[in-house]
Amino acid sequence: MKFPVLSEDERKERLRPRSGKLSMVLDTDTYNEVDDQFALAYALLSPNRLDVQAVYAAPYSSSFFARALGADEASIPMTHDLTEGMELSYREIIKIYDLLGMSSKGKVFKGSDTYLTDPERPVHSDAAHDLVEKAMASDDLLYVVSIGEITNVASALMLEPEIVKKIVVIWLAGQPFYWPQTIEFNLGQDMIASQLIFDSGVPLVLLPCMGVCSHLTTTKPELETEIKGKSRIGTYLTDIVVNQLGQEASIAMLNGYRYSYLRGQDDYDNKLVKDLITTDIAPSRIIWDISTIGYMVNPIWCPSTLVPAPHLLPEIKWKSDPSRHLMRICNFIYRDAVFGDMFAKLKGAV
C-alpha cells in the first residue's frame, strides 16, 4: 500500500513539540491493566491543554504473552478472546467518564475485533472510520495517542492514506532501539499493524517501555496518601492498583519480565535464578500509559530526539537504517513531574 511522502521539513514540523491547546483522540485497551484508566482520566482532566475529541476501544488478548512466555493462555490472568477484550475496554472507558461526571455520548467508539491478517486489508470498525473522519476534517494536526496495540490506527491509515498528512501518532510501545529485542505487549500483538506504523511514514513519537516508561512506578502508600478519598476517580484508581499488589503478584511480574521484556539482558543460567528466588519484595506498580499524556501535557518532562525510524523485524527486533524517514523517540521521563501533575488533577475531580 502506498502512502503520501512527507518532505523532511514537513515531517520535522509535525514532530516539533508545541505549546497551546492540542486536539487528540485516545486509542486504549482500557480494561487490560490498571494504567489505561489513569491515562484516560489524566487526559480528560487536562482540558486547558488537551481537547480529547474521541476515545477508541482497542482489542487485547492473552495470546501475545502465551507466545512470548511459552505459557498456557488459560494461566494468564486476562481474556484470551480478542472481541471480549475490546468490549471490556469499551465499557471501562464509559465507566471512567461516569466516575468523572462527564458525558461519553458520541465520544466513545468500538474498535477492531480482530488483528490484521493482510497489510492491504484494514479491519473496519467504528473507531477506524471515526479517526479517518476526524483527521480529514481537522484544520490542524490531530494527535492520535495510542496506549494499546495499534490495529485501529493502522486500519484508519489503510482506509485513507491521506491522513498521513493530518495526524501525529504518539505510541507507547516496544523497547529502546539499543535493546537486544523489542518484545512488548502493545507492539507484539498485531505485528502487521505495528510494522505498518513504522513503514507508512506517518509522523510518529515512540515512548519505549523498559528504561523509559518503566520509571513511572507508584505504590500503595503513595496512592492512598495522594488521591484515595480525594475524588471518586482517585479512590477507584487507588483500589484497582492496590487489589493487584502483593508478594505473589510482584514475583510473578519479576519472572515474567525476565522472560519477555528483559529477555537477553542477562546471561544467568536458570539454576542460579531458581536458587536465588526473591521472596521479600516491596510491591509497586508501573503506570506505563500516563507517559503519553505526560508527553502531550508537557514534552519538557519527556526528553526526546529525532532519529531514523528502524525496521521492525518479524522476530520482534529492531533493525537500524540511517536512510529511513525521521521519527521522534523519548529517552527519559521525569517521573515526579508527571505524577505530580496527574495527582493534582485527580484530587480536583468530583
- Which of the four pLDDT bands, split at 50, 70 and 90, describes residue 285? very high
At residue 76, the pLDDT reads 65
- Domain extents in the chain: 8-218+286-338
pLDDT score of 74 more than 60? no
The mean per-residue pLDDT over the stretch 214-235 comes to: 97
| Higher per-residue pLDDT: 254 or 320 | 320
pLDDT at 65: 76
Q: What is the mean pLDDT of residues 189-202?
A: 97
Quick check: 213 pLDDT over 70? Answer: yes
Cα 268 to chain centroid, rounded: 30
More confident residue, 248 or 159: 159
Determine the length of the chain: 350
Confidence check: pLDDT of 280 > 90:
no
Could you report the per-residue pLDDT of 127-162, keeping only the tens digit for each?
A: 999 999 999 999 999 999 999 999 999 999 999 999
Q: Which amino acid is at 83?
A: T
What is residue 248's predicted lDDT score, i.e. its pLDDT?
A: 84
pLDDT exceeds cutoff 80 at 126:
yes
What is the reported pLDDT for 72? 66
Residue 78 pLDDT level (bands cut at 50, 70, 90):
confident
Please report the pLDDT score of residue 249 as a whole number. Answer: 85
CATH numeric code, 8-218+286-338: 3.90.245.10
What residue has cell string 492512598?
Answer: 224
Query: What pLDDT band is residue 69 in, cutting at 50, 70 and 90?
Result: low
pLDDT at 77 over 70: no
Tell me the CB-side half-sphere exposure of residue 34, using CA atoms within 13 A. Answer: 21
**pLDDT attached to residue 127:** 98
Query: Pick the residue with more confidence: 179 or 66?
Result: 179
Average pLDDT over residues 275-295: 89
Using CA atoms, how far apart are residues 334 and 93, in angstroms rounded to an integer? 27
- Report the predicted TM-score, pTM, of the whole model to 2 decimal places: 0.95
The secondary structure of the chain, three-state, reads: CCCCCCCHHHHHHHCCCCCCCEEEEEEECCCCCCHHHHHHHHHHCCCCCEEEEEEEECCCCCHHHHHHHCCCHHHCCCCCCHHHHHHHHHHHHHHHHHHCCCCCCCCEEECCCCCCCCCCCCCCCHHHHHHHHHHHHCCCCEEEEECCCCHHHHHHHHHCHHHHHCEEEEEECCCCCCCCCCCCHHHHCCHHHHHHHHHCCCCEEEECCCCCHHHCEECHHHHHHHCCCCCHHHHHHHHHHHCCCCHHHHHHHHHHHHHCCCCCCCCCCHHHHHHCCCCCCCCCEECCCHHHHHHHHCHHHCCEEEEECCEECCCCCEECCCCCCEEEEECCCCHHHHHHHHHHHHHCCC
Of 24 and 271, the one with more pLDDT = 24
Task: Render pLDDT for 306-332 as a digit per residue (tens, 0 to 9).
Answer: 999 999 999 999 999 999 999 999 999
Mean pLDDT of the chain: 94
**How far does Cα 130 stand from its chain's mean position?**
19
**Which pLDDT value is given to residue 67?**
77
